[in-house]
Structures are given as C-alpha cells and as structure tokens.
Structure 1
Amino acid sequence: MEFDLSWILLGVPIVFALGWFASRLDLRQLRIENRQAPKAYFKGLNYLLNEQQDQAIDAFIEAVQRDPDTSELHFALGNLFRRRGEYERAVRVHEHLLSRADLGKSDRERAQHALAQDFLKAGLIDRAEDALRKLAGTRYQPQAWLTLLSLYERSRDWPQAADIARSLQQAGEGDFTARLAHYQCELAAAALAKKNDPAAARRLLEDALQATPDAARPRIQLAGLLAAQDDLRGAFEQLALVERHAPQAMPLVASELVRIGQATGQLARTAELLRRSYAATPSIDVADAIVQADLAAGMPPAQAREGYVRHMAQEPSLIAATRWLGHEPFAREGAHPVVQRSLEHAARPLARYRCAACGFEAQGYFWQCPGCQAWESFPPKRIEEL
C-alpha cells in the first residue's frame, strides 16, 4: 500500500489551526481570570472600606484562589485575619508566604514582620520573640528591637532589656542611658530581695550614678541601702545631693531627709535644704517636711504649723488645710473629728500621683507606670498640684 503524502500536507494546516484555536481559548480564559481577580480584589476593598470585614475576607480568599502568586493579596488577607482576632489563620497565611521560594527579599522581610505581629497579638511571646530576632539586619530591625525591649520590660527580664537598649543606642536609635540606669536599679532591688546581696546592689547603684549623675532614682535607692546598713550619714549625704542634681525629686525624699537629719543631728542643715527647695518649687510634701523639721527642732507647735498656712497663701491646697486642721487645737472639740474626717476623705483622691502619659493614678509613686509602662511619667507632685 502506498503512503499518500497529500494527507500530511492537508493535516499540517489542520493541526496548526487547532493549536491556534486552543491558544486563543487559553488566552481568553486567562483574560477572564485576570479580569475576575482584580474584580474580587476591588470588591474586597469596597467591603473593607465599609467595615464589612467578613465579606472582605471572602472576597480576598476568592482573589487569592484565582491568583495564588500575588503576595499583596496574601498580606491583605493576613492583616484582615489578625484584625478579626483569627490569629491562627493569619499565621498560616504569613507562614505560607515565607515558604515560597520565589518570594523577594523585601516581601520576605515584610512577611516575617507580619508573622511576629501575629504571634504578639495571639500572646505567643516565645514565638514572637524568635520571629522578632529574625528581623535583625532588615529594615524592620529598629521596630523589632523596640518591641523586644517592651516585651523584656513587661516580663522584667532586665539583663535582656539592657542588651537590647545598648544595641538600640549603638544603632543611633536614641539615648537609652536613663533607661539603662533604671534597669540597674531594678537589678539592685532584685539583688537585695532575692539574693540578699547588698554589695552587688551597691555596685549596680554606683554604676548607675556614674552613668547618670543627675538621675534621682539610683541616688534615692542608694540612700535607702545605706540607711538599712546603719550608715545614716552616708544616706543623708546622698539625699542632700538630690537637691543639687535632681531638684524636681525633692518632694519624694523630703520626709526621709527630716528623719535621717534628726537622727544624725543635722536638722538645721535639713531645714535649710528644704527651704531652699521650697523657694525654687513650692510643694506640699516639702512644706510638710519643713513643718516636721521645725517641730523636731523644738519650735512651738502653733508657730511651726503656720508653714501650712503660708503654703496655702501661695498655693491653695485642701491637703495642706487637712494637715493644718489635724494639728490645730479647736475649742469645739466635738465638731473637730467629724470635720477632720470629712476633709481627709475629700483630700485623699487629690493626694495621689498621676501618670502624665496615660492618666493612671496611684497612691504611691512609681518610676515605671504600671498602666502604660512609661518610665518617669509620674510627676513627683500630687494631683492637687498639677
């Protein structure tokens, strides 16, 4: 049987035509899918702008299914999951991105940063710490280190916090000298409370003072440590230096200065320091300490307690009025206790301290706000004086 070449000549155009037709079908399908993908994307965006997050998530999932290689859609979807509190799904999205071999360096860093945020929001602190440390050397490094610093402060891991603070300072991200001094003060307090090691605590406080001679906290803590070791003269000298190096902190040490000044026979010097401080910055705590010093020096009570009246003439104060009334003899003894209790009740909220950063209020003074974790955000003044 002879092979007819005419069939080959006839078949070639047919095969070419079928191939061309198939390619046109593929191109048409691709165009349809490309039109549908951005349509789903814009639909999701519209839902997002209208705060319809459930519908936005569905639209973005549809867009991702149609165009699985688009990283921006994955980022949008992951962020939506995190905002919705669906942290496990957000983690899966960002881990999927990181597993892609074709992901560019910039998008890989972005996905790593998003994954760290997922872990933080989910409360998975160990995994968040690991994810944040992987951002070293990237454009997200400063932000990651600041987040790590906050984590270590909240967990009271002061050595780790100090390491990160030094790294940030070396990278030119700010001056962390004062914060490092606070870390040393925290470590000194721990050395006393947990290890009963006053020598180590003293070394830490002296190092903090050497680095930040105008800081109030290490000097005040060192004075407390010296007083606990019966070195009252050393404690007095440290408290007296507060007036020169950190005058704004005098209200915090005024009462203790009187107590130690009396014990060391330095009441006259104490009163002089307090009056000088009060003249520069009037304060109810310093005024109260002046009254205590005058009484301890033997001044007649009626004369000494006029200090409250002088303070009220300069700075109207319910706290000062309460303390004056608590010492002043009254003829009508029956009414005095009732009036005194009422004034004390009214003055109690005014005697608190308030954080200037978040408004947290406390009866005692904090170097770090328990509410917002800011350092030295409590002015050393009572609410009444703000």
Structure 2
Amino acid sequence: MEFDLSWILLGLPVAFVLGWLASRFDLRQLRAENRRAPKAYFKGLNFLLNEQQDQAIDAFIEAVQNDPDTSELHFALGNLFRRRGEYDRAVRVHEHLLSRGDLSRTDRERAQHALALDFLKAGLLDRAEDALHRLEGTPFEAQARLALLAIYERSRDWPHAATIARKMHDADQGDFSTRQAHYLCEQALALIAQGDLPAAQALLEQAVAAAPEAARARIELARLQRLMGQPTAVLATLKTLGERNPAALPLAAPLMVEAATASGRTAEVHGLLQAHYEQAPSLDVLESIVAMEAADAATSGSARQRYVEHLDKERSLVAAAKWLATEKLEHEEFHPQIQRALEHAVKPLTRYRCAACGFEARQHFWQCPGCQTWDSYPARRVEEL
C-alpha cells in the first residue's frame, strides 16, 4: 500500500484551523475569568476602603470561588474575618492555605503567622502557643517571640517567659535584662510564699546580677533579708540601691528606717536619707525622716518645721495638710472636721500613676494592672509628678 502525500497536504490546513479555533476558545475563557476575578477583587477592595466589611467579604468570597488558587485573596479574606471577630472562619481560611501542597515557603510561613494571630485573638492560648513555636527560624520569629512573651506573662508562666526573654536578648531584639530580673523576682515571691527562703534568695541574687541598675531586685532582696532577720544586710542592700538607682530610694525609705532601728544605726541612715532629700525632695523620704526624728526625744518636735521647709521647696498640699494636723487653731472644735476634709482632698494626690496608661493606684506596682507595662510607675506620688 503506497502512502499518499496528498492526505498530509489536506490535513495540515485542517489541523491549523482546529488549533486556531481551540486557542481562541481558551483565550476567550481565560479573558472572561480574568475579567470576573479582578472585578470582584477590586469591588471588595473598594468596599474595604469605604469600611463596608460585610460587602467586602462577599466580594472576596466571590473572587476566591472564581480563582481558588490565588493565595492573596485568601489572606485578604482571612484578615477580614479576624478583624470582624469571626475567628473560626479566619482559622478555616488559613488552615486551608496551609493544607495546599503548591503553596510557596514564603506564603506558608505567612499563613502560619496569620493562623497564630487568629488563635491569639480568639483567646485560644494553647493553640496560639503551638502555632507561634512553629515560626522559629522564619522572618516572623521576632513577632512570634513577642506574642509568646505576652502569653506567658498573661498566664504567669515565669520560667517560660524568662526563656523567651533570654532568646530575644541573645538575638539582639532588645535589652530584656530588666524583664528577666522581674521574672526571677516573681518566681522568688512564689518560693517565699511556699517558705523556701534560701531558694528565693538565690533567685533574687540572680536578678540583681542580671539587672544591676534595676530597683525591684534589690528591694525584694532587702525585704527577704528583713524576713530572715538580717537588718545589717538590709541596709547594705538598700545603700547600694541608693547608689545605683537613687530615684527608687523613696520606695525603700520606710524599710531603711525599720532596719536602722533594728540594727542601732539610726544616725547613719538619718544622714543618708537627709542627703538624698536635699538632692531630690520626696514626700516618702520626708515621712521617713520625720518618723526617725519622732522616735528621738531630742528631735521629736521638729515635724512641724520639716513640713514648713518642704513647702518652701515644693507646693505640696499633702505636706500642708500634715503641718495643719500639728497646729492649734483658733476654733479648735472645728479642727477634726477640717482635717478630715483635707485628708479626703489629698488622698488622690498620694497615689501612684502609670506613665503608660494613667492607671492610678494607692500602692506602687512593678507591672501596671491596667496596661501590663513593666516599670511604668514612677517612684514618686501623683502630687510630685
């Protein structure tokens, strides 16, 4: 059987025409899909810019259905769900992304970070912790560690918090030495509550070594030394505090007076407090000086003069009220009512105020109960700020 070349000559134009028709059909379909997807995408973007989140979500869902392989649309949709508080839907979107085998490494890490944020916002701390640990060694590592630190602080898991803070410090993500000292102090307080004083002392000494300039570690160590009946050690610790961090001495002044009385070194401590007061007048230091002089018969009547001298340095309503309490008025029968009114008026002035959020409290906190910021409370009262 001979092969007829005429069939080839006839078949080539037919194949060309069929191929051209097929290509035109594919192009039309592709163009139609591309027109639909960007239209839905830009519609969703327009709704988002106009803060119409419900309509934006509907538009992005339509775009995802038209082109389910587009990861950017999934990210936009998941972020919208999270912002609306629909965390379960955000989790499903990001888990769907992570289940895809064709996802690039960059998008996979991004989806893992988004999933961790979903769990974190939903309050699922155990699942958020697991998701954040998976971001070690990725570009999101620093953000993940900060989030883990917040989780451990919130759950008061101080050993794990200390581990994360150490990693961040070693990775030059900031100076976390003071934060580590706080975590050691928290662990030491737990041991003191359990009665394990030697172990608590070891942790507090580690805290002092970790952050020599920080005030809390030395103050907590001095309180422990007082508990252990070591007034001389208390004074040594607080004298060092006055040298390394004099601004924090008002917090330790009453403890210094107590240790001075117990060790018979009142004259020495009186001189130290007086020198500090001359450099930085403070109500708490003044009160400690007045308390020491009241215990000394030779100087027991000098409180009135102390308050007057303080008024020369500072316009203090608190000092004025204390001075008035020692005065004899012309109508003495009205003195108690006037004194009660003044004490009520000055009470807010004796509080401590967080420098980060403004939360006020009658006692000094190392971590603000309002905003959870560390070392945001100055050692001075509201009136002195």
Asked whether the two chains share a fold, i.e. TM above 0.5, the reply is: yes
Look up the match of 1:221: 220
Look up the match of 1:241: 240
Against the structure 1 CA distance between its residues 345 and 282, is the aligned structure 2 distance closer, same or farther, given a 3 Å change threshold?
A: same
1:289 aligns with 2:288: yes
Paired residues of 1:262 and 1:296 also in contact (CA < 8 A):
no
Look up the match of 1:81: 81
The correspondence of residues 183-262 of structure 1 with structure 2, limited to 5 A, is: 183-193=183-193, 195-262=194-261
Q: Deviations over 1:145-165 (max 9, x none)?
A: 111111111111110011111
Distance 1:346 1:299 in 2: 33
Distance 1:243 1:124 in 2: 44
Q: Unaligned regions of 5+ residues in structure 1, if any? A: none
The correspondence of residues 23-38 of structure 1 with structure 2, limited to 5 A, is: 23-38=23-38
Paired residues of 1:270 and 1:293 also in contact (CA < 8 A):
no
1:150 aligns with 2:115: no
Q: Deviations over 1:209-234 (max 9, x none)?
A: 22333322111111111111222222
Distance 1:247 1:7 in 2: 103
Paired amino acid for 1:190: A
How many corresponding residue pairs?
Answer: 382
Distance 2:21 2:213 in 1: 83
Distance 2:291 2:329 in 1: 21
Secondary structure, counterpart of 1:343 in structure 2: helix
Paired residues of 1:113 and 1:140 also in contact (CA < 8 A):
yes
Counting aligned pairs with the same residue, the percent is 61
Paired amino acid for 1:104: S
Paired residues of 1:295 and 1:304 also in contact (CA < 8 A):
yes
Look up the match of 2:179: 179
Paired residues of 1:288 and 1:308 also in contact (CA < 8 A):
no
Paired residues of 1:367 and 1:377 also in contact (CA < 8 A):
yes
Larger mean CA deviation between 156-165 and 169-178 belongs to: 169-178
Paired residues of 1:302 and 1:328 also in contact (CA < 8 A):
no
Paired residues of 2:294 and 2:301 also in contact (CA < 8 A):
no
Cα RMSD (Å):
2.0
**Once the 2 structures are TM-superposed, how far is the Cα of residue 250 of structure 1 from its aligned partner?**
1.0
The correspondence of residues 46-85 of structure 1 with structure 2, limited to 5 A, is: 46-85=46-85
Distance 2:160 2:100 in 1: 33
Distance 1:324 1:270 in 2: 24
Paired amino acid for 1:198: L
Paired residues of 2:40 and 2:60 also in contact (CA < 8 A):
yes
Secondary structure, counterpart of 1:168 in structure 2: helix
Distance 1:219 1:171 in 2: 27
Distance 2:331 2:296 in 1: 29
Paired residues of 2:266 and 2:292 also in contact (CA < 8 A):
yes
Paired amino acid for 1:223: A
Look up the match of 2:166: 166
Secondary structure, counterpart of 1:375 in structure 2: coil
Paired residues of 1:78 and 1:93 also in contact (CA < 8 A):
yes
Distance 1:299 1:328 in 2: 20
Secondary structure, counterpart of 2:156 in structure 1: coil
**Once the 2 structures are TM-superposed, how far is the Cα of residue 16 of structure 1 from its aligned partner?**
5.8
Distance 1:253 1:207 in 2: 20
The correspondence of residues 301-320 of structure 1 with structure 2, limited to 5 A, is: 301-320=300-319
